[in-house]
C-alpha cells in the first residue's frame, strides 16, 4: 500500500479494505490504492469508454438515460427554477438537453468526442476539466455532478471550486454510490460499483456529507434514487465486461430485440444529495 492521506480528513492511517481499496481509520472514507495521476485519469475517458469499455452504446440509450435525468431535474426544480446551471462531466449532453428548458446551461466534459456531440445539439459545452475553467466567482445558481465525483482524481478540489463559483444559496447536486448501503454490504467486493480505476472513490452518506459540510455547504435533500437501465446495458455488463465474455449470447439477445427493453429499480445504493452554499 502506498503512503497517502485521507482526502476528507487528512488522516494518514489508511488500512486495507477490499482488494485495491483502502479505508480511513478516522472518517471511514474509502478510496483506491493505485498509482495514477490526472493525465492517467483523462486517458480512461476516450470514445471507447462510452462505446464498449464501460457502456455498450451510450448514445443508443439516450432516451433511457434521460428518464433518470428527468427525475433528478424534477427534484432540482422543487428548489430552484431559472438561473445559470453548470454540469461537470456532462458526457454527451443528455441532461443539459432537458435542463435548458428551465436554465441557462453550460457543460464541462474531458472526453472530446462527447463534448463535440453535445455541441452538435447546440449546447454550450467545453472539452475541458472544470478545474481549469474560467468561471467567475458567485456567478452560477446550480452545479450538477451526476455519477461523476467517484471518477475525479481530487474530488475535494471540485467541491471547493463549486462553492467559489456558486452564488450565495446556490445548489450543488450530486449522485454517487453508497458503499455503506445494505446492498453494497451484502455484495461486498462484488458490488457493481466497485471497479477501479474508473471509480476511484467510494462515498457513504456520512463521508459525502463530511466533504460537503467541510466546504461550506448544508444538506437540503438526501436520499436514494432509482435507476432505469436498458436490458442492453445490463446484459452487456454481465456477459461482456470484466473478462466474462459471452459474445454469442449477447448477440443473440440483440437479434431478438430483447435488449431494447428497459426497467427501473431502486436498490437504495445510489445517493442523491442537493446541498446549498452557506451564506458568507
For 59, 75, 86, 250, the CA distances from 136, given in Å and listed in that order, are 32, 26, 12, 48
Of residues 160 and 256, which shows the higher confidence score?
160
For 62, 158, 178, 218, the CA distances from 209, given in Å and listed in that order, are 31, 15, 12, 8
Instruction: Write out pLDDT tens, residues 158-205.
Output: 999 999 999 999 999 999 999 999 999 999 999 999 988 889 999 999
Instruction: Write out pLDDT tens, residues 105-124.
Output: 999 999 999 999 999 999 99
| Angle subtended by helix axes 155-165 and 205-214, to nearest 10 | 50
Closest CA to 133 of 102, 169, 82, 89: 89
- Residue 10: how many CB atoms within 10 A of its CB? 10
Query: Residue 255's pLDDT is what?
Result: 63
Domain spans in the chain, listed from the N-terminal domain onward? 1-35, 37-225+269-277
Q: What is the CATH number of domain 37-225+269-277?
A: 3.40.50.150
How far apart CA 231 and CA 264 sit, in angstroms, is: 11
How far apart CA 122 and CA 126 sit, in angstroms, is: 12
Q: What is the pTM of this model?
A: 0.91
Closest CA to 202 of 149, 154, 265: 149
**Long-range contact pairs involving 121-125 (C-beta distance under 8 Å, separation at least 24):** 121/93, 121/97, 123/90, 123/93, 123/96, 123/97, 125/90, 125/93, 125/96
Provide the pLDDT confidence category of residue 133 given band limits of 50, 70 and 90: very high
How far apart CA 207 and CA 176 sit, in angstroms, is: 12
Q: Within its chain, how far is the Cα of 103 from the centroid?
A: 21
Amino acid at each position: 500500500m502506498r503512503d497517502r492521506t485521507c482526502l476528507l480528513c487528512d488522516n494518514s492511517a489508511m488500512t486495507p479494505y477490499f482488494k485495491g481499496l483502502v479505508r480511513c481509520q478516522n472518517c471511514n472514507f474509502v478510496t483506491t490504492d493505485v498509482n495514477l495521476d490526472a493525465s492517467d485519469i483523462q486517458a480512461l475517458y476516450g470514445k471507447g469508454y462510452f462505446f464498449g469499455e464501460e457502456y455498450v452504446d451510450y448514445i443508443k440509450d439516450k432516451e433511457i438515460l434521460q428518464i433518470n435525468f428527468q427525475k433528478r431535474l424534477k427534484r432540482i426544480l422543487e428548489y430552484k427554477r431559472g438561473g445559470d446551471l453548470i454540469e461537470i462531466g456532462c458526457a454527451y449532453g443528455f441532461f443539459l438537453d432537458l435542463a435548458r428548458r428551465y436554465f441557462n446551461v453550460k457543460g464541462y466534459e474531458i472526453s472530446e468526442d462527447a463534448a463535440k456531440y453535445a455541441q452538435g445539439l447546440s449546447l454550450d459545452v467545453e472539452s475541458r476539466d472544470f478545474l481549469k475553467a474560467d468561471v467567475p466567482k458567485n456567478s452560477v445558481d446550480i452545479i450538477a455532478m451526476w455519477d461523476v465525483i467517484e471518477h475525479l482524481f481530487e474530488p475535494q478540489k471540485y467541491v471547493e471550486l463549486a462553492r467559489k463559483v456558486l452564488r450565495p444559496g446556490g445548489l450543488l447536486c450530486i449522485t454517487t454510490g453508497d458503499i455503506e448501503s445494505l446492498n453494497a454490504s451484502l455484495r461486498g467486493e462484488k458490488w457493481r460499483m466497485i471497479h477501479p480505476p474508473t471509480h476511484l472513490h467510494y462515498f457513504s452518506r456520512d463521508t459525502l456529507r463530511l466533504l460537503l459540510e467541510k466546504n461550506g455547504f448544508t444538506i437540503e435533500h438526501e436520499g436514494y434514487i432509482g435507476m432505469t437501465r436498458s436490458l442492453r446495458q445490463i446484459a452487456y455488463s454481465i456477459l461482456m465486461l470484466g473478462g466474462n465474455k459471452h459474445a454469442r449470447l449477447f448477440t443473440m439477445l440483440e437479434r431478438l430485440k430483447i435488449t431494447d427493453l428497459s426497467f427501473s429499480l431502486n436498490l437504495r445504493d445510489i445517493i442523491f444529495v442537493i446541498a446549498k452554499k452557506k451564506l458568507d
